[in-house]
Amino acid sequence: MFVLILAFGCVAAVLPVLASRIGRGVFYVAAAVPAAAFIWGVGAYGQISDSAPLIEQAAWVPQLGLTLGLRFDGFAFLMLSLVAGIGVLVFLYAGSYFHAEPIIGRFAATLLLFSGSMVGLVLADNLLALFLFWELTSITSYLLISIEDEKTAARSGAMQALLITGMGGLAMLGGFVLLGEAAGTYSMAELLERPPSGSVVNVALLLVLIGAFTKSAQVPFHSWLPRAMNAPTPVSSYLHSATMVTAGVYLVARFTPAFADYSVWRPLVISFGLASMLIGAYRSLRQHDLKLLLAYGTISQLGLMMLLFGVGTKESIFAGCTLLLAHGIFKAALFMLVGIIDHQSKTRDLRKLDRLGAQWPVVTATAGVVAASMAGIPPLFGFLAKEEALGALGETGFAWGVPVLIGVVIGSSLTVAYSARFVWGAFGPRPVSMIPHQGFVRNEAVGQQVPKPSKMFLAPVFVLAVLTLLFGLFPSLIDPVIARAYASLVGVRAEHHLALWHGFTQALALSAVAIGAGFALFSWRLRVEKLQDSMPQVPSAQRGYDRTVKGLLEGADAVTGFVQHGSLPIYLGVILLTMIVLPGIPLLSDGVMPDLWFADSPMQVVVGLIMIVCACAAAVARRRFAAVLLVGAVGYGMAALFVIQGAPDLAITQLLIETLGVGVFVLAFRHLPADFVRSKFRRSQGVQIAIALLAGVFVFLFTLFAIGARTEPSISGEYLDKAYSEAGGNNVVNVIVVDFRGFDTMGEIVVLAVAALGVAALVRAKRSPAEVEP
Amino acid sequence: MSFFSALIVAVLFSVGVYLLLQRTLSRIILGLALMGHSANLLLMVVGGRAGKAPIGGAFGPEDTVADPLPQALALTAIVISFGVISFLLAIAYRSWVLTQNDEVEDDVEDARIAQLGEAEMRRWWSRPR
Amino acid sequence: MTQRRSVILDLCVQAEFHTLLLLSLYLLFAGHNQPGGGFAGGLVASCAFGLRYVAGGSSALSRSISIPATTFLGVGMLFAILTGCVSLLTGHEFLESAIFSAEFMFIGKVKTSSVLFFDIGVYLVVLGMSLLLLQQLGGADGTDPDEVQP
């Protein structure tokens, strides 16, 4: 499995080079990789059973105990076949969609990288690895949306997608870490087998759900998905309908058997799912751009999937698996169709399309089949999925079962309506259109001739349409796959089977109601549009996103303006106060007072007093040289203290340095005025003194406690012993400097050399006229 | 632990901080020099009690020997701070040559950042999308 | 400046200069066993040149030494690094010392360590730095056309 994932990356690496040679043939090369993955998946499917998945493990960071585990089970196969199968078709489709644009090498490579990350995501067992692949899909999605980087809309759409999904991803990572720590393992299989308990788990689940909701474009995080439609259609068809956006659903599906009974799970997943289903479908009804219509439809369908998995009963999980597959098939096909229409007629605005149906009868029929599958009309696969959903929701046994069921029926009828609207919008005759705030307007482009798409272009759509028809007519073809996916999620064999005809059930009746209501809505479409148009404008998620980003930038600006005001003394004051307060508090509470005596020797008191007086005098000195000399005197005092302390080396060095130092001070200051300029900022002097005193008190206490904090004897005993025997020197300080800690000294002389060269450069630098200011 | 040495460390540091908070560049440098002294002394004081010099042959087996490790560290620190202060002095000299002024003014650039940021943001949002 | 030169200081410095240099070498070589070492030695040598400067200004300083200060810096760094590399090449840790002892006629047994070369490097860097400071900050009067008179 590792080889499989790596293969995606390796082939992706050569695609850009290849593209410059063979042009769009590169897509057919790329298609081979998901095809291989699909074939591998089918082969591996034969080796697994309901309870025995295929497991591969590799040490990732052994020092941290991180193991990268991959796990191939029934549900992973379902996802893999979606990712790889639709991947093959999308690459073939892209071969006709693009001409010889210069971006195709980059595009094919990024798309293949995405494909690989998605395969990794569905195979990953380690939560952190899952997160890694999750973020990789976000990043490749960002790159793919903005692939035509000269378009502003593509760039900002990509950024929005990245910001929202990235934010969710971060939250999810937090959730994973909490879960992993609570359970003591980062393996998803072990986590789900023994789910941890405690209130922290609820927080963790909430965070994980934020990740899932943002990725699967659930209301109110959905605004990125419509804007991601600025991407080329193969991307929309692959990432933003069939695979990447289902990652959130995938995660919920994995987690739901173990976590459905936790208090945050059902209420959140069901309410967000239902809201997304209804709002998505409602918004879809008023779109004029066919791609946007489908995008809102996707939000709606994802909402339904979320809801089904969130309910977490056996039947609903089974229905969720079915819908996941059905949706992948029909939605990818529909996006491809929009791409074809866009490609051939240069528009996807349904107000500018007219009578395509008469010109392209075969395409229209195909679109009709696929859209009918989306609407849930028998005998198509989508109908089966919807039947399962309605059936499962009818038998939840929960008190909220009925309202949710009613909501889903309403959502389904809206789905029927927008499916019909899609077919009519793309292919039907349209003499007039409703334009917001303008009423009904006659269409301009009536009866235009549009060139027919090539057979290669249509082939992937046909394949998907045939699949949705086949699986609908012969459910037993696909039933084992779904049953195994279900079994790997729930842990027990499915007793339920997909069937076209279950008898006269409640679900069938509800389906009929939904279809009837949907067509009624469609036939009153002009009135519906007018009604929607007259509705008060609710705050849209897009505006919410814009406001958030704007607020963030404004906030950052305000903070920068507040923090970075440009006064050096204030910066220093803040830094010093932080230094005093933050370590000061633990110091006072935990410090250990050492044994104290007044002074080491009378000399120390004398020298110390002189130093203190000199230092204070230096602080108030008006004359520059007086201050320099006073500080020099403090330095000589230091030398004396070193002698008392028993450090002759230090004393010598300090004495010499001070002598030289005073000389350098004098040399540098001799051009400056003799007196310090009286500062303009006299008022702040009180504050300065206060900070200085506080710092003094802090350092005093720190010094006292620092000695008390010593728990181990000094390591110098060893140095004392070894200095002569190993380094051949009696002067232990010197031996430490040049031998035991010679590397430090090496660094030090580098600093000295650099400082000296810096001084030379600063002094020698000429004055440039621009720099001179009076 | 001698109370008085801690006091010296504290006073030197305190005066250093006071000078550091001034606006005159040469006083700031003097303040840094004092803080350097304070830090070196701190190393010595915290390192252990005073004793005989850690030189082979200069102490007997019963004598208390001053800890050589902090001494080595302080030795390095003394020389480094000399290098750093020389560099600061060169900067002060250069600043004097260029502006004839020994005062650290408020950073005009920093003050402008807030306004610039605001203008930038306005531009960002008015861009057509 | 030359008119105000003090004869006494001049003579004293001339007398002291070489003594100080000798002292600095003593400190350098004794440093491994007695107080001293590369830092102290280098600083004493720097003070010697500082005295030269005080007595005669930058012209006296440049007369007393013809090697550029940066050469001291470079050679010093080279010494230090090579010492480290030699011990690396002989299969020891970087800067690990090796002890040599040899019998000399008249002097007797001399024992020294390879880190002496490292200390020489330190000595040279410190001296080079001080010379550079004296020449640059000290030479900034009169000779520099951009010099600003306060």
Q: Name the residue of chain C whose CA is nearest to A741's CA.
A: C95
Question: Of the candidates C80, C121, C140, which has its C-beta nearest A763's C-beta?
Answer: C140
Task: Report the candidate in B7, B56, B68, C72 with the shortest Cα–Cα distance to residue A756.
Answer: C72
Output the DSSP codes for A55-96. EEEEEEEGGGTEEEEEEE-HHHHHHHIIIIIHHHHHHHHHHH
Q: Name the residue of chain C whose CA is nearest to B75's CA.
A: C39
Total Cβ atoms within 10 A of residue A193: 12
Residue A736's pLDDT is what?
83
C149 vs A402, higher pLDDT: A402
Query: In DSSP terms, which residues pair with A439 in a beta bridge?
Result: A435
Region A21-34: what's the mean pLDDT? 91
Residue C145's pLDDT is what?
39
Q: Name the residue of chain B whose CA is nearest to A715's CA.
A: B69
pLDDT band at A433 (very low <50, low <70, confident <90, very high): low
Residue A304's pLDDT is what?
96
Whether A695 shows a pLDDT value over 70: the answer reads: yes
CB pairs under 8 A between B and C: 20
Whether A681 shows a pLDDT value over 60: the answer reads: no
Question: Of the candidates C40, C99, C146, which has its C-beta nearest A656's C-beta?
Answer: C40
pLDDT digits (tens, 9 = 90+) for A98-140: 987 888 999 999 999 999 999 999 999 999 999 999 999 999 9
Identity at C46, one-letter amino acid code: S
Residues of C in contact with A668 (CB under 8 A): 137
Whether A462 shows a pLDDT value over 90: the answer reads: yes
Question: Of the candidates A608, A693, A765, which has its C-beta nearest B4's C-beta?
Answer: A608
Q: Partners for A (CB, 8 Å, 3+ pairs)?
A: B, C
Total Cβ atoms within 10 A of residue A525: 17
Distance between CA A436 and CA A450 in Å, rounded? Answer: 27
B126 and chain A in contact, CB less than 8 A: no
Distance between CA A374 and CA A357 in Å, rounded? Answer: 19
Torsion of CA C52, C55, C60, C64, to 10 degrees: -20
A449 vs A505, higher pLDDT: A505
B3 and chain A in contact, CB less than 8 A: yes
Query: For tokens 């000589």, what's the residue?
Result: A636
CB contact under 8 Å between B15 and A644, yes or no, is: no
ipTM above 0.90, yes or no: no
Residue A653 Cα, gap to closest chain B Cα (Å): 7
Instruction: Determine if residue A312 is left, alpha or beta; phi over 0 gives left, psi from -120 to 50 gives alpha, anything else beta.
Output: left
Strands A439-442 and A432-435: antiparallel
Task: Report the candidate in A141, A341, A110, A349 with the shortest Cα–Cα distance to residue A228.
Answer: A141
Output the DSSP codes for A592-644. -----BS-S-HHHHHHHHHHHHHHHHHHH--BHHHHHHHHHHHHHHHHHHHHH
Mean model confidence pLDDT for chain A: 88
CB contact under 8 Å between B1 and A611, yes or no, is: no
CB pairs under 8 A between A and C: 145
Question: Of the candidates A672, A720, A773, which has its C-beta nearest B68's C-beta?
Answer: A720
CB contact under 8 Å between C133 and A745, yes or no, is: no
Distance between CA B127 and CA C8 in Å, rounded? Answer: 78
List chain C residues with pLDDT less than 50. 1-2, 141-150
Query: In DSSP terms, which residues pair with C100 in a beta bridge?
Result: C112
CB A342 within 8 A of CB A425: no
A149 vs A72, higher pLDDT: A72
Residue A209's pLDDT is what?
96
Identity at B127, one-letter amino acid code: R
Task: Report the candidate in A244, A327, A311 with the shortest Cα–Cα distance to residue A273.
Answer: A311
Query: In DSSP terms, which residues pair with C99 in a beta bridge?
Result: C113
Output the DSSP codes for B58-72. SS-TTS-B--HHHHH
Residues of C in contact with A735 (CB under 8 A): 32, 115
Residues of C in contact with A672 (CB under 8 A): 150
CB contact under 8 Å between B53 and C35, yes or no, is: yes
Q: Name the residue of chain C whose CA is nearest to A750's CA.
A: C77
Distance between CA C127 and CA A489 in Å, rounded? Answer: 76
pLDDT digits (tens, 9 = 90+) for A413-432: 999 999 999 998 888 876 66
Region A450-478: what's the mean pLDDT? 92
* Per-domain residue ranges of chain C: 2-138
CB A324 within 8 A of CB A305: yes
pLDDT digits (tens, 9 = 90+) for A576-623: 999 888 888 888 887 777 777 788 788 889 999 999 999 999 999 888
Chain A residues with CB under 8 Å of a chain C CB are: 648-649, 652-653, 656-657, 659-660, 663-664, 667-668, 670-673, 726-731, 733-735, 737-739, 742-743, 745-746, 749-750, 752-753, 755-757, 759-760, 763-764, 766-767
Residue C86's pLDDT is what?
80
A478 to A386, A465, A574, A712: CA distances (angstroms): 16, 15, 68, 71
Q: Name the residue of chain A whose CA is nearest to C76's CA.
A: A749
DSSP letter at A767?
P
Q: How big is chain B, counted in residues?
A: 129
Q: Does residue C9 sit in helix, strand or coil?
A: helix
| Candidates B67, B100, B116, partner chain A, best to mutate (most A CBs within 10 A) | B67
pLDDT digits (tens, 9 = 90+) for A133-170: 999 999 999 999 999 888 899 999 999 999 999 999 99
Which residues, in sequence order, are CB contacts of A722 under 8 Å at separation 6+? none
A591 vs A680, higher pLDDT: A591
Residue C34 Cα, gap to closest chain B Cα (Å): 7
CB contact under 8 Å between C33 and B55, yes or no, is: yes
Q: Name the residue of chain C whose CA is nearest to B91's CA.
A: C137
A728 vs A379, higher pLDDT: A379
Class of residue A751 by CB neighbours under 10 A (exposed 0-12, middle 13-18, buried 19+): middle
CB A254 within 8 A of CB A188: yes
Helices A381-394 and A361-375 pack at an angle, to 10 degrees, of 10
Helices A455-473 and A314-345 pack at an angle, to 10 degrees, of 160
Q: Name the residue of chain B whose CA is nearest to C133's CA.
A: B86
Exposure string of A392-408, with b = 16+ CB inside 10 Å and e = fewer, is bbbebeeeebeebbebb
CB contact under 8 Å between C39 and B56, yes or no, is: no
pLDDT digits (tens, 9 = 90+) for A327-374: 999 999 999 999 999 998 888 888 888 778 888 889 999 999 999 999
Distance between CA B39 and CA A496 in Å, rounded? Answer: 78
Residue B1's pLDDT is what?
54
CB contact under 8 Å between B4 and A605, yes or no, is: yes
Residue A458 Cα, gap to closest chain B Cα (Å): 33
Residue A754 phi/psi, 5-degree rounding, is -65, -40
CB contact under 8 Å between C34 and B55, yes or no, is: yes
B124 and chain A in contact, CB less than 8 A: yes
C134 and chain A in contact, CB less than 8 A: yes
Query: In DSSP terms, which residues pair with A69 in a beta bridge?
Result: A57
Half-sphere exposure of A223 (CA within 13 A, CB side): 17
Distance between CA A254 and CA A53 in Å, rounded? Answer: 14
CB A308 within 8 A of CB A320: yes
Mean pLDDT by 10 residues, chain B (129 residues): 86 94 89 94 81 72 78 90 92 85 73 63 55
Q: Does residue A647 sit in helix, strand or coil?
A: coil
Question: Of the candidates C118, C125, C146, which has its C-beta nearest A752's C-beta?
Answer: C125
Q: Partners for C (CB, 8 Å, 3+ pairs)?
A: A, B
Residue A437's pLDDT is what?
60
Class of residue C98 by CB neighbours under 10 A (exposed 0-12, middle 13-18, buried 19+): middle
What predicted TM-score, i.e. pTM, was given to this entire model?
0.69
Question: Of the candidates C32, C77, C97, which has its C-beta nearest A749's C-beta?
Answer: C77
Whether A529 shows a pLDDT value over 50: the answer reads: yes
Query: In DSSP terms, which residues pair with A71 in a beta bridge?
Result: A55
Half-sphere exposure of A78 (CA within 13 A, CB side): 29
Which residues, in sequence order, are CB contacts of A245 under 8 Å at separation 6+? A215, A216, A217, A225, A239, A298, A302
Strands (E), A415-543: 432-435, 439-442
C86 and chain A in contact, CB less than 8 A: no
Max Cα-Cα span within chain C: 62
Residue C147 Cα, gap to closest chain A Cα (Å): 10
Question: Of the candidates A648, A656, A756, which has its C-beta nearest C132's C-beta?
Answer: A756
Token output for B24 = 């005159």
CB contact under 8 Å between B97 and C35, yes or no, is: no
Region A418-447: what's the mean pLDDT? 72
Token output for A627 = 């201050």
Q: Is the four-CA dihedral A651, A654, A657, A659 of positive or negative sign?
A: negative
Q: What percent of chain A has pLDDT over 90?
A: 55
CB C44 within 8 A of CB C20: yes
Distance between CA A125 and CA A730 in Å, rounded? Answer: 62
- Looking at domain B3-126, its CATH class is mainly alpha
Q: Partners for B (CB, 8 Å, 3+ pairs)?
A: A, C
Total Cβ atoms within 10 A of residue A198: 10
Residues of C in contact with B100 (CB under 8 A): 148
Whether A280 shows a pLDDT value over 60: the answer reads: yes
Q: Name the residue of chain B whose CA is nearest to A752's CA.
A: B83
A642 to A600, A646, B75, C55, C137: CA distances (angstroms): 12, 6, 11, 31, 30
Query: For tokens 């927008």, what's the residue?
Result: A418
Distance between CA A531 and CA A309 in Å, rounded? Answer: 33
Total Cβ atoms within 10 A of residue A62: 9
Question: Of the candidates C27, C33, C76, which has its C-beta nearest A749's C-beta?
Answer: C76
C90 vs A302, higher pLDDT: A302
Distance between CA A65 and CA A75 in Å, rounded? Answer: 27
CA angle A657, A736, A633 (to 5 degrees): 20
Q: Name the residue of chain B whose CA is nearest to C35's CA.
A: B55
